[in-house]
């Protein structure tokens, strides 16, 4: 192609020969080779769009985690929820609020503990660590009907309010560490369970939804952990993708965390370390994952990545199911497809998909935790 152009335009060939001759003379005389003229950056001449710059700006100041929070109101709301739990559990199951010291730092972790009314013999019961979702979320009353089912089946359930959870004051809120120390807070719940005489330490599972499913995944993707099996419902799986897909308004919650302090392009190793997708090969225990194609919180394009990875690389351990456009809940489309509950009566609002999902969950735990 170059030869063709030279033949079609002889002046180009002449110019090349002249340039080469000049360069060779300069080199022979010890003169430095002239640098090519610098190309002006096209970005340097583009005026700043101030409105768009404000829209895309993502700060890193941890103090911004408290902006807009009424911590006193959060504490009052949590107290009301605790009272409602006490009423709902009365005569049905034991419900107590406990706390334990996290294995990381000087942090006390509150937790809900649900047990059968009759404790049972020593080391006779399997246990479950159930993890709530949400960035600055907490354990909600909406989980009551499912907890009731778990306890009726003989499980002891602990639901930790790990660092960053709301309803426990400013210090607990500001300690948020998404995918970091919060995982250690949750893992430490097992140490508390082991102090309970009925709990069999060899039969402890972990389960979570959304961000809670994310923590469940990160827990069993560690090199060492105490769980015999895990369930992750509509889990967050890939923060590198997720933050890009959701954009600046969502990125604020992560870039402003003290132990993150930036976006994926600035903190690549941090975000890779905290994304379950990149640790699938570490899975050594049975895992159940359910996702929905019409999820508008953890979008299917994110969850499809972990489903594909598990199916291709851990088919002997992972059981996955994709629910195609299940009836959506109040928010997040299909994100709450298997957590449909009447807020007033605290009864399940079942759909075929919700029934199917929970039947699979209970069967999975029967096989992985209750069979010795």
Residue 22 has pLDDT above 50, yes or no: no
CA distance 233 to 358: 11
Token couple for 102? 């996290």
> pTM for the full model?
0.88
Higher pLDDT, 331 or 233: 233
225 CB contacts (<8 Å, ≥6 apart)?
A: 187, 219
Domains of the chain: 56-370 (3.40.50.1820)
pLDDT, position 35: 63
Neighbour count for residue 345 (Cβ, 10 Å): 9
Confidence of residue 37 (pLDDT cuts 50, 70, 90): low
**pLDDT tens, 178-192?**
999 999 999 999 999
Residue 316 has pLDDT above 70, yes or no: yes
pLDDT, position 370: 83
The Cα angle at residue 210 between residues 216 and 266, in degrees rounded to 5 = 85
Cα separation values, 336 from 209, 295, 343, 353, 368, Å: 9, 8, 14, 11, 25
**pLDDT tens, 117-156?**
999 999 999 999 999 999 999 999 999 999 999 999 999 9
Neighbour count for residue 127 (Cβ, 10 Å): 27
pLDDT, position 17: 41
**pLDDT tens, 346-367?**
999 999 999 999 999 999 999 9
Per-residue DSSP letters for 344-359? TT--B---HHHHHHHH
């Amino acid at each position: 192609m170059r030869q063709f152009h030279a033949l079609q335009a002889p002046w180009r060939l002449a110019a090349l020969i002249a340039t080469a001759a000049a360069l060779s003379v300069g080199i022979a005389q010890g003169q430095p080779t002239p640098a090519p003229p610098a190309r002006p950056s096209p970005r340097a001449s583009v005026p700043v769009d101030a409105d768009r710059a404000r829209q895309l700006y993502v700060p890193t100041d941890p103090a911004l985690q408290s902006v807009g929070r009424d911590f006193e109101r959060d504490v009052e709301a949590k107290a009301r929820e605790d009272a409602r739990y006490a009423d709902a559990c009365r005569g049905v199951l034991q419900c107590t609020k406990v706390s334990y010291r996290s294995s990381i730092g000087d942090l006390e972790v509150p937790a809900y503990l649900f047990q059968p009314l009759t404790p049972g013999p020593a080391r006779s019961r399997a246990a479950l660590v159930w993890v709530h979702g949400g960035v600055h979320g907490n354990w909600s009353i909406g989980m009551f009907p499912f907890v009731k089912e778990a306890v009726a089946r003989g499980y002891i359930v602990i639901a930790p309010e790990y660092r960053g959870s709301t309803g426990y004051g400013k210090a607990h809120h500001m300690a948020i560490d998404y995918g970091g120390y919060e995982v250690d807070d949750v893992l430490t719940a097992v140490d508390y369970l082991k102090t309970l005489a009925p709990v069999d330490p060899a039969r402890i599972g972990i389960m979570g939804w959304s961000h809670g499913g994310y923590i469940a995944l990160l827990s069993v993707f560690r090199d060492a952990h105490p769980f015999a099996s895990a369930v992750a419902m509509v889990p967050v799986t890939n923060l590198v993708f997720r933050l890009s897909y959701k954009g600046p308004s969502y990125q604020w919650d992560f870039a402003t965390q003290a132990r993150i302090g930036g976006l994926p392009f600035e903190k690549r190793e941090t975000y890779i370390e905290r994304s379950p997708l990149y640790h699938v090969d570490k899975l050594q225990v049975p895992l159940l994952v359910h996702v929905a194609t019409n999820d508008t919180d953890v979008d299917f394009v994110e969850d499809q990545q972990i489903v594909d990875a598990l199916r291709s690389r851990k088919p002997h351990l992972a059981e996955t199911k994709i629910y195609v456009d299940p009836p959506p809940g109040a928010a997040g489309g299909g994100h709450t497809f298997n957590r449909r509950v009447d807020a007033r009566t605290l009864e399940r609002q079942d759909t075929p998909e919700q029934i199917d999902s929970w039947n699979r969950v209970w069967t999975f735990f029967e096989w992985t935790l209750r069979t010795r």
